[in-house]
């Protein structure tokens, strides 16, 4: 039966493959599931770093800040 999930083939270094196997055994899940879980986590971390850089740049270029009271007074 075909799967809806996309499959990829990857080659791992021996030490990485061993570590992945141990983590999968520890968490009682297939290695592929553990690898997918770890890839998702790494992508979330990358996304956080990306948005953090954008926020840092905006913070450095900020001319004037507006207090919360000022903001809500204008909005409402």
DSSP per residue, 19-55? HHHHHHHHTTS-HHHHHHHHHHHHHHHHHHHHHHHHH
Cα-only R_g, the chain? 22
Task: Write the pLDDT tens digit of every residue in 58-70.
Answer: 888 877 778 899 8
Chain segment 28-76, per-residue pLDDT in tens? 999 999 999 999 999 999 999 999 999 998 888 877 778 899 889 988 7
Percent share of the chain, pLDDT over 70 = 99
pTM: 0.71
pLDDT tens-digit profile of 5-27?
Answer: 899 999 999 999 999 999 999 99
């Amino acid at each position: 039966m075909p799967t809806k999930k996309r499959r990829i083939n990857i080659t791992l270094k021996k030490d990485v493959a061993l570590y992945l196997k141990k983590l999968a055994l520890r968490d009682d899940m297939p290695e592929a599931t553990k690898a997918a879980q770890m890839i998702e986590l790494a992508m979330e971390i990358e996304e956080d770093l990306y948005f953090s850089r954008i926020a840092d740049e905006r913070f450095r270029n900020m001319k004037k800040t507006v207090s919360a009271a000022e903001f809500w007074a204008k909005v409402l």
